[in-house]
A and B are shown apart, each in its own frame.
Chain A
Amino acid sequence: MTIRFVLLVNKQGQTRLAQYYEYLTIEERRALEGEIVRKCLSRSDSQCSFIEHRNHKVVYRRYASLFFLVGVDGDENELAILEFIHCLVETMDRYFGNVCELDIMFHLEKAHFILEEMVMNGCVVEINKSNILTPIQLMDKNS
């Protein structure tokens, strides 16, 4: 399992989206998020985008007021994960049009669907934006 979790956090440290690819109890998740988010938010732009936390390696990237955090295995290629984050943001941007925190708050499940299309069992399976969005748009049309 390469990607262990994906988190979206705003500048205030509130979790906006959390997807785990390995099972953690709610308490464990809260503790983990709390520590990692605190570490990430305290970092400046001039610092590198990687933090190590216990046995996790976290790659994060900031877009406006949102932080995208991805927890990965120690062997994972950090730069590729940064690229993945960028792709995720671009896809959301295409779907929502100028994506912002509110879009994700109001359409959390859509954001999850996008992530589901891109990542499976911790592996990146799709990075083509149109392919990612096809099933979601299909569902929008149906409902």
Chain B
Amino acid sequence: MASTIMESLFQRTLEDLVKGLRVQMIGESRYIASHLEEIRKEIKSTDPHTKIVALQKLTYIHMIGGIDMDWAAFHVVEAMSMSKFAHKKIGYLAASLSFHDGTDVLLLITNQLRKDLGSNNEYESGLALECLSIIATPDLAQQLTPDVFSLLASGRVYVRSRASVVIFKLFTKYPDAVRIACKRLVEKLEDTDPKVLSATISVFCEMALKDPASCIPLAPEFYRLLTEPRDNWLLIKVVKIFGLLLPLEPRLSRKVAEPLCEIMRHTTAKSLLLECIRAVTVGLPDHGEGLKLAVQKLKELLMENDPNLKYLGLQALAALMPAHSWAVAENKSIIIRGLNDDDYNIQLASLQLILGMVSEDNLIDTVHVLLQYAERSEVSFCNEVIGSILTTCSRGVYELVSDFTWYTSILGRVSRIRDSAHGKEIERQFVDIGLRVKEVRPDLLAVARGILLDSTLLECPPLYRVLSAAAWIAGEYVEFSHNAIELIEALLQPRIRLLPPAIQAVYLHSVLKVFIYSAYTSLKGVYNEGLPAEQLFSEKDEESTPLSQHLLLIESEVKEVDKAGIVSEEQLEVNMTDDASMHSISIDSQKDIMEGPSLGSECEQFKRLFELIESNVGPMIEHSDVEVQERACNLLGLAKALKEALIISEGIPVFSQSSSMDNALEIVSFLRSVFGKELGPVSAFAQSRVAVPEGLVLMKNLDNLDGMFCDDEVKEKSLTPEFKTREWEVGPKSAESAPDTDSKHGESSSLLAQHRQRHGTYYLPVEKDITAENGYPPPQIVQQDIPSTSSAADDIMKLAEQSLTWSKPRQTKQRPVIVRLDDGDEDLILSSKVKRDAKDNLISSALKDVLVSGKGKPSMKFTSKEDGKSLFRSQQHDHNAVVEVNSNVSVNSEEATKKSGKRHGKHRHKTRSTSMSIKDTAGPCLNQSQGDSHNSHSGQKSRHKSRTPTAIIPQPDVIPDFLS
């Protein structure tokens, strides 16, 4: 005994702890740790006061520092069971703060909770309810549902209102509770106390949010609450519920529209007004008057210079936009000004609205205005703007873009923004446009050239993907370039070593393509002076196949040689001459060509090309990345082979051996024909369209094929040495002996051609599109003067307001053909239906059962109405249950009228009257509606009216018409 007195005398109180915490010099966590030791001892004390103070301190530490207090769970339970209210409250606080589903002592508190729920002290019941609302588990919910249920009928408002909130928590944990308690909860909608009503309507609002359909039978109750004068908290919830119900039950709109408009006209509370605007937006899309009123009120909100109202107003406009773009157009200037707001959120909201209003006509103006904003604003907003421009313009396979020259210039412009987060998307669009829009390819190449020449971009990792796209375009559409050497120089500038290997590989491949192109054109130029080149060199790959195989062999050989560091030039030369003899190319006339005037310059060009490639690609064959290494080797090998063929002695270009020159030309023209094949977009479903051939079983169990794998391994082993020897073999013999493995290019392209012939239907009709395109005028080049970024924001705004026309789109210019796939291009986003978890479904189904079987529905009225039949069938209402309801109607409604007779004046309170010393930032406020007494009379009347029992005998197919 003495010890406990000493303990409580010398125990540090919570205040000591907090004071100590404020002046401690040893660091908060160490201070807390030292106290925790003390608390651990104190909490075991038999003296209730000592124990409670210890628990209080522990809870405090838990609250401020997030210290785990699971270890004290049992002490918490002890504190909860103390008799003194103050002690009990501290225990309950600790429980609701620290208990969770995994706390094992939860099993011990069921009886304690039950006892406190049933306590005579309303505040003790309140404690237990509060705690239960936080820590309820399915077990607790199951065991305590009857207790809470009985509290719903408690005479004390304090308990009744809290019980109705807690019962919802129990529903979510234990859906069967709905069947027990829902009826009584519905009765609470008739409660005389505004607080109980408010709590109950909150619960139904939650239920409606989870499953609006299940609440439709209660529409008459909600309607009554809507029309009676209530405090704004309650009205907000009721309006919100109607916002959820109206889209499901169009017939409600007739009834609800007028009261909603009435509220909008007269309320001074902006929160309620906002809620009504939201409800009208989703619920009354066809109600002209209501919409007009809502938009007008929205405009008033936007005009007020309050950032909160502006933000919410813009959000409301965004909700209106899909169906009523006129509402957005009316507020254009406010929206555009929003782009310049201090607030990022408002900027974003404005941006979304502006992009939502984009049409084919104002796209160019809009994008220019947005880009100007973007280039002057912070990185995050800039990225946001660019991202949305990219998505908007590419929407529906660029359906908004009519001028692709302009759009590629925009892409080029956004490619220069250093901190861009959209490199990947820009890359995708560059390539995509290249594939889809044939006419814009020259412009694309010009843009890509600009990007490649700008060596500063090589220092911006976010833009690497863009560079990769630019390099690809340079290689793929090189035929539109005027200066291929310049492209190669750009692609091979020494700083490309800064790029990641994958992109270096793209660069190298593009170099190969550009190189082949430029070699081809110059060689052809040389020939053309004497002979028509087409006559000599048909581009058909089939014809050149044997040579190409040979060529590839050489290439791989060179690679090997290079790797080994030995150059066996003689071998190469032998190959070339040997092979040339097989081909019947007329040589005689070429002697003159050699001495032609262009020869010298062509040779110089070649020399330069070779030098460029050798000096820049040479070091790359030792690159650590295999992909880069391989491409570098290929490129270098090819270059060397061509050099051998074309230039014999150093410095003096001698095309003496015309056979080798022919060879070279053939190599080049073959490769050119491979690279020259046009690439087209491929449908995402292309593979699925290939019919499974008859007799092919795809779902066969392959387990029993284990034996065959062994055979495969053996084969592989025998293959490897053969492969090795082949690499060292040279000459046409090897080319003939192993055509399959070596002629990758020729093989694949001829296979491709064969496949295309056989399965033509599964290929995109690229050629067809191209011919169709010919009729279109070339895309216009739009000159845009971009104002200097220093120009004042106001100027831009004025410009924006003048130039952005949000009117009906008009088609003035023909768009170029964009290759579209019929299926694969559309956004593959499936209608995303919100998945409710199983429990929610359980709740709503239980709720539906209860409500539709109407056990607790006094004032529902049913008349037969044929027109709504199908609608209600689809909502799976149980028509048989309707019969039951009507038998109850007369009894229940009598009770209900009695109840309503007892109704008396409600206790009202103002939320905002006390003077405050704390800084009160002025803001919107919920004002109590004035003149309650005046309105309540008519409210009572209508209530009585709605309760008149009906004696209509229901038909089997009766449809409940809730608001007739």
Which A positions have Cβ atoms within 8 angstroms of B?
1-2, 15-18, 21, 23, 26, 29-30, 43-52, 61-64, 73, 75, 77-80, 82-83, 86-87, 89-90, 93-94, 98-100, 105-106, 108-109, 112-113, 116, 120-121, 123-129, 131, 135, 138-139, 142-143
Say yes or no: is B86 at the interface (Cβ < 8 Å to chain A).
Answer: yes
In the complex, which residue of chain B has the Cβ closest to the Cβ of A29? B66
Q: Which residue of B lies closest to A1 (CB)?
A: B206
Q: Tell me whether A93 and B918 are in contact in the complex, defined as CB-CB below 8 angstroms, given that A109-B56, A123-B199 are known contacts.
A: yes
Interface centre among A18, A82, A121 (most CB of B within 10 A): A121
Residues of B near A52 (CB, < 8 A) are: 345
- 16 further A-B contacts with Cβ under 8 Å, apart from A79-B308, A80-B232, A86-B925, are A2-B206, A21-B134, A48-B343, A63-B921, A77-B271, A80-B275, A106-B15, A116-B130, A120-B162, A120-B199, A121-B134, A125-B161, A125-B162, A127-B911, A138-B123, A139-B85
The answer on a CB contact under 8 Å between B199 and A125 is yes
> With an 8 A cutoff between CB atoms, is B835 at the interface?
no
Q: List 22 A-B contacts (CB under 8 A).
A: A43-B343, A48-B311, A52-B345, A61-B921, A63-B919, A79-B270, A79-B271, A79-B312, A80-B236, A80-B275, A83-B926, A86-B920, A93-B916, A109-B56, A109-B60, A123-B202, A125-B161, A125-B195, A129-B909, A131-B158, A142-B84, A143-B84
- B603 touches A (CB below 8 Å): no
The residue that B133 contacts in the complex, of A47, A63, A82, A121, with Cβ under 8 A, is: A121
Name the 8 nearest CB pairs between A and B, nearest first: A79-B271, A47-B343, A143-B86, A48-B307, A121-B133, A48-B311, A123-B202, A135-B123
Contact present for A45 and B921 (CB under 8 Å): yes
Chain B residue at minimal CB-CB distance from A94? B914
In the complex the two chains form, what is the Cα distance from A52 to B911 in whole Å?
Answer: 27
From known contacts A26-B68, A48-B346, A120-B166, infer whether A109 and B84 are also in contact, taking CB-CB under 8 Å: no
Which residue from A86, A105, A121, A138 sits with its C-beta under 8 Å from B912? Answer: A86
Selected contact of B914 from candidates A64, A82, A90, CB within 8 Å: A90
Majority-rule SS of B interface residues: helix
Q: Is the CB of B18 within 8 A of A63?
A: no
Q: Once bound together, how far apart are the Cα atoms of A16 and B65, in whole Å?
A: 10
Minimum Cβ distance to chain B for residue A39 (Å): 10
**Residue among B59, B64, B68, B165 making CB contact with A125, cutoff 8 Å:** B165
Name the distance in Å between A40's Cβ and chain B's nearest Cβ.
12
Query: Which A residues touch B100, using CB under 8 A?
Result: 23
**Minimum CB–CB distance for A27 against chain B, Å:** 9
Residue of B nearest to A99 (CB): B918
In-complex Cβ contact of B909 among A46, A116, A127, A143 (8 A) = A127
Please name the residue on chain A nearest to B126 by beta carbon.
A135
Is the Cβ of A46 less than 8 Å from the Cβ of B270?
A: no
Q: Which residues in chain B, 874-921, are within 8 Å of chain A measured between CB atoms?
A: 907, 909, 911-912, 914, 916-921
Residues of A within 8 A of B926 (CB): 79-80, 83
- Whether A121 lies near B165 (C-beta < 8 A) is yes
Query: Chain A contacts of B169 at CB under 8 A?
Result: 121
What distance in Å separates the Cβ of A140 from its nearest Cβ neighbour in chain B? 8
- Bound-state CA distance A44–B236 (Å) is 29
Asked whether any CB of chain A lies closer than 8 Å to the CB of B337, the reply is no
Shortest Cβ gap from A48 to chain B (Å) = 4
Q: Which residue of A lies closest to B17 (CB)?
A: A106
Q: Please judge, given known A-B contacts A29-B66, A106-B15, A120-B165, whether A89 and B916 are in contact too, CB under 8 Å.
A: yes
Q: Which of B71-112 contact A (CB under 8 A)?
A: 84-86, 89-90, 93, 96-97, 100-101
Cβ–Cβ < 8 Å partners of A29 in chain B = 66
> B911–A86 contact, CB under 8 A?
yes
Residues of B within 8 A of A62 (CB): 919, 921
Alpha-carbon distance between A89 and B311 when the two chains are bound, in angstroms: 24
Residue of chain A at shortest CB distance from B87: A143
Q: Once the chains bind, are A109 and B59 in contact (CB under 8 Å)?
A: yes
* B-side contacts of A83, CB under 8 Å: 271, 911-912, 924-926
Judge if B310 is at the interface, Cβ distance under 8 Å.
yes
A141 to chain B, nearest CB (A): 9
Nearest-CB residue, chain B, relative to A63 = B918
- Report A-chain residues with C-beta under 8 Å of the C-beta of B84: 142-143
Closest Cβ of chain B to A14, distance in Å, is 8
* A125/B206 in contact, CB under 8 A: no
Q: Which residues of A contact B33 (CB under 8 A)?
A: none
In angstroms, Cα B162 to Cα A125, docked, is: 7
A108-B60 in contact (CB<8A): yes
| Residue of A18, A61, A80, A90 most packed against chain B (CB within 10 A) | A80
On whether the beta carbons of A90 and B912 are closer than 8 Å, the reply is yes
Contact A105-B18, Cβ < 8 Å, known A64-B919, A125-B199: yes
Residues of A within 8 A of B245 (CB): none
Q: Confirm or deny: B186 has a beta carbon within 8 angstroms of a beta carbon on chain A.
A: no
Beta-carbon contact of A120 and B130 below 8 Å:
yes
Query: Complex formed: what's the CA distance from A98 to B199 in Å?
Result: 30
Nearest-neighbour CB distance to chain A for B913, whole angstroms, equals: 9
Q: Is B342 an interface residue (CB 8 A)?
A: yes
- B909: which A residues are within 8 A, CB to CB? 127-129
Q: Is the CB of B236 within 8 A of A125?
A: no
Q: Which residues of A contact B921 (CB under 8 A)?
A: 45, 61-63
B240 within 8 A of A: yes
Minimum CB–CB distance for B310 against chain A, Å:
7
Contact in complex: A126, B195 (CB < 8 Å): yes
Q: Hey, which chain A residues are within 8 Å of B168, CB to CB?
A: 121, 123
A26 & B130 in contact (Cβ 8 Å cutoff): no
Interface flag for B129 (CB, 8 Å): yes
Residue of A whose beta carbon sits closest to that of B66: A26
In contact, B345 and A47 (Cβ under 8 angstroms): yes
Closest Cβ of chain A: how far from B920's Cβ, in Å? Answer: 7
Contact A46 to B86, CB < 8 A, known contacts A2-B202, A80-B271, A125-B165:
no
Given contacts A83-B926, A106-B15, A112 and B93 within 8 Å (CB-CB): yes
Q: Is B209 on the interface with A (CB-CB < 8 A)?
A: yes
Is the Cβ of B85 less than 8 Å from the Cβ of A138? yes
B923 at the interface (CB under 8 A from A): yes
Asked if B233 is at the interface of the complex by the 8 Å CB criterion, the answer is yes
A120 close to B129 (CB less than 8 A): yes
A93-B165 in contact given A21-B134, A47-B342, A124-B202 (Cβ < 8 Å): no
Contacts of A82 in B (CB 8 A): 271, 308, 923-924
